[in-house]
Structure 1
Amino acid sequence: MNPVRAFWLILTLLVTAPAWAYESRVVTIPSAAMHESFEATVVLPDQYARRNTANRFPVIYLLHGSGGDYTDWATNSPIGKLADRYHVILVMPDGGHESWYIDSPVNPRSRYETYVGTEVVAYVDAHFRTLATKEARAITGLSMGGFGALHIALGRPDEFGAAGSISGAVDPRGSEDEPGIEQVFGDPARDAGFWNSEAIVENARSFDDAHIALTIDCGVNDSLVQSNRMLHERLVELGVPHDYAERPGGHTWTYWSNAVQYQVLFFASAFRHARMASTAAGNLTSAAS
């Protein structure tokens, strides 16, 4: 290639390439429910600092999987770029190694549903410029976190307007051999009623009443794909609107770091549609006055 042409090509790429200027912070969030504090990663988009300080932003909560922690998403996926691209705040709380994001009936010290679904949300709304409404709040996660995201969203339909699951362990009854799961769910035989009641597929009808924008995906080579298909089929049977995808891949960060990009796009679209609907409703009210 001609040296002059090469120079101008490189210069053009430098000028047109997006400048990712997001800010990543680690904060400590107290839990009154567990009498303890836990760290969380918060990613703020470039616009948070550069634009009008009165501006407020939608929030997406990303939950880690079994054995993980609050650093997983930031370390293994391009979430910072997603915060900039879609002008959202991303929050990654610590959910414990095997909490399943439930308020355990057998371990009163494990109250991660209350912590993530109530206490973390309240902290983030109090300390950052968020749009503190259901329509501007979404939650998703991978594996155990996928179950947790759907479980928390169903339990708090007034808090989350959108929810997702990536390679989600959506039916804990298929994870009975997971180390530590009995410490939060109880014995699979003795406490079978509770195990059954917590399966997302058994609560699928509730999504219709909750009016939650819903997205679910799983790799075709993932051991959890069958339970995700069952959930999808149940939602279709019930007529519950949702987005469902299977893509090549397994239970790996290669899959998750790709899938999260589709989910954040889905949530950004849901936020936009909610704003448009709210604006339209406001205009109708004004016209009627």
Structure 2
Amino acid sequence: MFANVPTALTPRTRVLLVLSVLLATLTPTAPALAAHPSGSSHGAEVVAVTHVADRQLDLSVRSTALGGRTVKVRILTPDGWNPDDRRRQHWPTLWLLHGCCGDYTSWTAMTDVAETDALRDVLVVMPEAGWNGWYSDWWNHGRGGDPAWETFHTKELRHLLERDWGAGRDRVVAGLSMGGQGALLYAARHPGMFKAAASYSGSAHPLLDEESVSRILGFFAGQNNDPLRVWGDPVAQRRIWEAHDPVHLAERLRSVPVYLSCGDGTTGPLDAPGAASALEADFNRQNHALAAELRRMGARHLTTNFYGPGTHMWAYWERELHASLPVLLGALEDDG
């Protein structure tokens, strides 16, 4: 069913993979922090808080999983959220994951998420995940350790938010591009943590073929990184790659409401004339492969919007966030 990945990577191939880094526009950075520490939880602690705008707070979180580094998490608080009583509040929660090469500010900077009325009854969590962290605990040539983004998000940050910041245990997750893959991975790799997942132009099957493998290794090589630090070699560490490939985790997503959307990489209605995206075309093929595998598995709650012409652009992701809210918020309301 899947195209075969080459059984060896020549030195020339490795050089080409490193050179295939694809860059995206960086989003604005956050303002300066104000002191407002809170206690640690499972290896993480909030060391400062900044009030960014109405209902928007930036938490500076020191993380053991990230080698003691401090990273930012933006939260969008619901109506009625009380900062003086947050430990006794339990709000349904939407996690919004950014892509490469954005950051925790991307969703509020690039979309109308903060003005979306449908989200005024949920706590929205937008965590930092690294320029190209890929929502993974990096292999680091077998040593593990920093960065461990998956551990930071699913263990440290999750417990911290639920203990001190009003997050409840009913959660859904959505993301774009790298974050779309992250949403699918977290829903699959942590059964029961998220009641639904949405992926917009996500990397849904990085092992699809040699082009897909080369492209993601190019991302891994961004900012002068060794691309094999993340998941290792796609042949020698094939098991690790499969453990981070949504198609190979489709059985775990079979009972989860999943929303998949993607353009085909050609000029769409929200693009400038002549725009094209080989990245979106690749991810389109990957998403079709995942949808086919989920249907083969008998997925009960799969929604797809493969909308044809459209590139790898925020205008589409904002639109798809709104389109997917019935799936995401419906899952939060479902007690079954």
TM over 0.5: yes
Offset at residue 188 of structure 1 (A): 2.8
TM-score with structure 1 length normalisation? 0.79
Whole-Å separation in 2 of the counterparts to 1:82 and 1:266: 16
Contact (CA 8 Å) 1:40, 1:91: kept in 2 or not?
Answer: yes
What is aligned with 1:244? 304
Structure possessing the higher radius of gyration over alpha carbons: 1
Contact (CA 8 Å) 1:86, 1:268: kept in 2 or not?
Answer: no
What is aligned with 2:136? 102
Residue-pair matches, total: 249
More helix by share: 1
Whole-Å separation in 1 of the counterparts to 2:99 and 2:65: 21
Gaps spanning 5+ residues in structure 1: where? 1-20, 278-289
Offset at residue 139 of structure 1 (A): 1.2
Offset at residue 22 of structure 1 (A): 5.2
The letter of the residue matching 1:225 is N
Contact (CA 8 Å) 1:171, 1:199: kept in 2 or not?
Answer: yes
Contact (CA 8 Å) 2:139, 2:229: kept in 1 or not?
Answer: no
Instruction: Return closer, same or farther for 1:192/1:256 CA change in 2, 3 Å cut-off.
Output: same
Of 169-178 and 244-253, the range deviating more from structure 2: 169-178
2:111 matched to 1:111? no
The letter of the residue matching 1:158 is G
Of 147-156 and 80-89, the range deviating more from structure 2: 80-89
Contact (CA 8 Å) 1:86, 1:265: kept in 2 or not?
Answer: no
Whole-Å separation in 1 of the counterparts to 2:166 and 2:243: 36
Whole-Å separation in 1 of the counterparts to 2:242 and 2:161: 33
Of 188-197 and 103-112, the range deviating more from structure 2: 188-197
What is aligned with 2:126? 92
Offset at residue 82 of structure 1 (A): 2.7
What is aligned with 1:153? 187
- 1:193 corresponds to which of 236, 239, 255: 239
Give me the CA root mean square deviation: 2.3
What is aligned with 2:28? none
Instruction: Return closer, same or farther for 1:196/1:130 CA change in 2, 3 Å cut-off.
Output: closer
What is aligned with 1:14? none
Of 24-33 and 211-220, the range deviating more from structure 2: 211-220
- 1:33 corresponds to which of 65, 88, 101: 65
Offset at residue 249 of structure 1 (A): 2.0
Of 184-193 and 114-123, the range deviating more from structure 2: 184-193
- The CA deviation string for residues 172-196 of structure 1, in whole angstroms up to 9 with x for no partner, is 3312332424331222343233223
Whole-Å separation in 1 of the counterparts to 2:164 and 2:260: 30
The letter of the residue matching 2:103 is D
- 2:218 corresponds to which of 172, 177, 200: 177
Whole-Å separation in 2 of the counterparts to 1:32 and 1:182: 23
Of 102-111 and 251-260, the range deviating more from structure 2: 102-111
Instruction: Return closer, same or farther for 1:119/1:263 CA change in 2, 3 Å cut-off.
Output: farther
Secondary structure in structure 2 of the residue aligned to 1:169: coil
- The CA deviation string for residues 188-239 of structure 1, in whole angstroms up to 9 with x for no partner, is 343233223321101101223xx42221111232221010000001101111
Contact (CA 8 Å) 2:79, 2:120: kept in 1 or not?
Answer: no
- The CA deviation string for residues 85-109 of structure 1, in whole angstroms up to 9 with x for no partner, is 4511111000011111111122521
- 1:227 corresponds to which of 273, 286, 289: 286
Offset at residue 49 of structure 1 (A): 5.0
Whole-Å separation in 1 of the counterparts to 2:109 and 2:325: 17
Contact (CA 8 Å) 2:77, 2:120: kept in 1 or not?
Answer: no
TM-score with structure 2 length normalisation? 0.68
What is aligned with 1:212? 256
Whole-Å separation in 2 of the counterparts to 1:259 and 1:40: 23
The letter of the residue matching 1:207 is L
- The CA deviation string for residues 16-38 of structure 1, in whole angstroms up to 9 with x for no partner, is xxxxx950111112322222221
The letter of the residue matching 1:115 is F
Secondary structure in structure 2 of the residue aligned to 1:178: helix
What is aligned with 2:46? none
2:167 matched to 1:130? yes
Of 256-265 and 175-184, the range deviating more from structure 2: 175-184
- 1:68 corresponds to which of 81, 102, 117: 102
Offset at residue 261 of structure 1 (A): 1.3
The letter of the residue matching 1:183 is R
Whole-Å separation in 1 of the counterparts to 2:118 and 2:292: 35
Instruction: Return closer, same or farther for 1:75/1:190 CA change in 2, 3 Å cut-off.
Output: same
